[in-house]
Amino acid sequence: MHSRPKFLLFVLLLLVTGVGLTLYKHFALGFPLWPGEKASVWTIEAKIEFTGQDKPALVSFALPYNPPGIEILGEDFASPNYGFTKIEQRDQRRAQWSSRQATGSQTVYYRLDVYEKPGENQGQISQQPTAIQTPEFEEPFRTAASTLVDELNQRSSDTRTFTLELLHTLNAEKPSQNVRLLLGDRPGEDFKARLAIDLLNLAEIPARKVRGLFLEDGRRRQALISFIEVHDGKKWRLFNQSTAEEGIPEHFILWQRGGLSLLDVEGGHRSRVHFSIIENNQSARSIAVQQGRDEQAALVDFSIYSLPIEEQNAFKAILLVPIGALIVVILRTLVGIRTSGTFMPILIALAFIKTSLITGLFIFIFVVSAGLLIRSYLSHLNLLLVARISAVIIVVIGLMAAMSIVSQKLGFSQALTVTFFPMIILAWTIERMSILWEEDGPKEVLIQGAGSLFVAILAYLCMTNRVVEYLTFNFPELLFVNLAVILLLGQYTGYRLSELRRFQPLAETELDSVLRQQKSNHNTANDK
């Protein structure tokens, strides 16, 4: 082929670019090639959104102040069109963004890099509590509250045990009548926290609300979680209000203490804030990114790291898709596995990532087999193709809803993750398999179904591999290498593994011997 040298040159160029950029990032910018053993640098992004009202806007947002066990490495308040000031008073820190005119939907970002100081989890806070304001309860709540406090006083010996008893009582599966009255219908976490503090104050124990965030990689659109802190006369003690566990949990950043609001917006309405968290696998990498940005290294400045964290998290998943594609290409051209729909296994694998493998497998097999049953009924109805597939989509959604509801009632929360499966793909899979069933029989359905699942599981295992995840996200230039490999495989003209099996009878017998054998067979047949 005349274009062969050109093609090879192109592939070589891709390989050199990919590997070269990777090595440059490693040696010149200091990116580690391997994920570190211990992850300790986290980037947290608070995204504040509100709708402007065509007048000056002032956003005031509480910032973490000396969070115990956490060291703040850097902060970023960059938000275009906004003036910014930081206010620090006593134990509070607040960020203030202001704008002369805010119209329509507005977004303000606060980004924070923190480092978990190992072994320094229980920070000391030596701040004295302010005077307790006796909470005002109205009847009949006042009686209920004081009865409850009396009861708890009886059962506890000190502030600590009182608090524990209180939290157990509030979170009891079958709360007493008094507690039920105080909690009302379906109390929110915030309401519960406020009630607990009021009850503690009623018992003359200084208490305040604490809000924080669990550091978990890849979390998006998170909200702060409420904790309760009580002063036992000597020091403050922190309690998780829903589990009644004492102390600061691991991988946790304490965001705000005291009852002041988290977010105030003047000149805007419908304000809300949510948090995204990303784990930077190694501090060395994050320092490399930081330095690269400072030095304006184009590779870092114009890279995925310049995106907001929420988008970075989305890209973390997107960058894994080419790995899935590579697996599909390898299994197709080198092994020769038959699948139902070429790239369907990748989508299934992506769903597995969200649902976990075993749950995902179970859900997939259940939905597809139930769908096949219902589809076999639909085929009697003589429907047009598009209408039939639409009907299958609705059936799939119905199955997903039914599965979620039943599993919720039975207490398997895992099955709720069924929504992560792409329903259109499931519907097409069902449709294709049912046609396959009618035309080629159940055996072919099993072969292709098992083939698809096998490819999906393999893709899932590769895509969830820590090293693969680390490399794809931190070295997106490796996409060039992936592309080069796929291009090369696209020109592979050798045998597939399945063909070595398929054509095996041809390899063993020479044609002549076949004829000879045929002849002797013929003779023996005549002899009979």
Partner 1 sequence: MMFATPKQLRARGIMGMNRRNVDYVAAHNPRHLYPLVDNKLKTKLLAEQAGIAVPKLLGTLRYQHDVKGLHSQLLPHEKFVIKPSKGSGGKGILVIAEREHDIYFKPSEEAISHEALERHVTNILSGLYSLSGSPDIAMIESMIEAHNIFDAYSFEGVPDIRVIIFKGYPVMAMLRLATHASDGKANLHQGAVGVGIDLATGKALHAVQHDRPIYQHPDTQRDFSELQIPDWDKLLPLAAACQEMTGLGYMGVDIVIDKNHGPLILELNARPGLAIQMANGTGIFPRLQQVEGLSGEQRTPEQRAQTSRELFGQQP
Q: Cβ 503 to partner 1, closest distance in Å?
A: 5
507 binds partner 1 (CB under 8 A): yes
CB burial readout 410-424, b (16+ within 10 A) else e: eeeeebbbbbebbbe
Q: Cβ 391 to partner 1, closest distance in Å?
A: 13
Strands 219-222 and 70-76: unpaired
Helix axis angle, 357-378 to 423-464, nearest 10°: 160
Which stretches of 90-235 are assigned E, i.e. beta strand?
92-116, 207-214, 219-222, 225-231
Q: Rounded to whole angstroms, how far apart are CA atoms 275 and 26?
A: 30
525 binds partner 1 (CB under 8 A): yes
177 binds partner 1 (CB under 8 A): no
Under a CB-based contact definition with an 8 Å cutoff, are residues 345 and 339 in contact? Answer: yes
Helix axis angle, 466-474 to 321-330, nearest 10°: 120
Omega before residue 140 within 30° of 0, cis: yes
Q: Cβ 447 to partner 1, closest distance in Å?
A: 11
501 binds partner 1 (CB under 8 A): yes
Nearest to partner 1 of 406, 446 (CB atom): 446
Q: Cβ 335 to partner 1, closest distance in Å?
A: 11
342 binds partner 1 (CB under 8 A): no
Q: Cβ 351 to partner 1, closest distance in Å?
A: 23
Instruction: Rule CB under 8 A: choose which of 168, 272, 354, 522 binds partner 1.
Output: 522
405 binds partner 1 (CB under 8 A): no
Instruction: Rule CB under 8 A: choose which of 492, 516, 527, 528 binds partner 1.
Output: 492
CB-count burial class (<10 Å; 0-12, 13-18, 19+) for 445: buried
Under a CB-based contact definition with an 8 Å cutoff, are residues 154 and 108 in contact? Answer: no
Nearest to partner 1 of 30, 336 (CB atom): 336
In 302-384, alpha helices (H)? 309-318, 321-330, 344-355, 357-378
- Backbone CA torsion sign across 419, 422, 423, 426: negative
DSSP annotation of 346 reads: H
356 binds partner 1 (CB under 8 A): no
Nearest to partner 1 of 186, 528 (CB atom): 528
Q: Cβ 349 to partner 1, closest distance in Å?
A: 24
499 binds partner 1 (CB under 8 A): yes
10 binds partner 1 (CB under 8 A): no
CB-count burial class (<10 Å; 0-12, 13-18, 19+) for 243: exposed
376 binds partner 1 (CB under 8 A): no
Under a CB-based contact definition with an 8 Å cutoff, are residues 463 and 469 in contact? Answer: yes
Instruction: Rule CB under 8 A: choose which of 103, 105, 161, 491 binds partner 1.
Output: 491
Binding-site size for partner 1 (CB under 8 A) equals: 37
Nearest to partner 1 of 180, 502 (CB atom): 502
Q: Cβ 373 to partner 1, closest distance in Å?
A: 20
508 binds partner 1 (CB under 8 A): yes
440 binds partner 1 (CB under 8 A): yes
503 binds partner 1 (CB under 8 A): yes
Nearest to partner 1 of 373, 497 (CB atom): 497
281 to 340, contacts with partner 1 by CB under 8 A?
333, 336
4 binds partner 1 (CB under 8 A): no
Please report which helix (H) or strand (E) contains residue 480, including its range. Answer: helix 478-490
| Binding region for partner 1 (CB under 8 A) | 1, 333, 336, 382, 384-386, 435, 439-440, 490-497, 499-509, 511, 514-515, 518-519, 521-522, 525
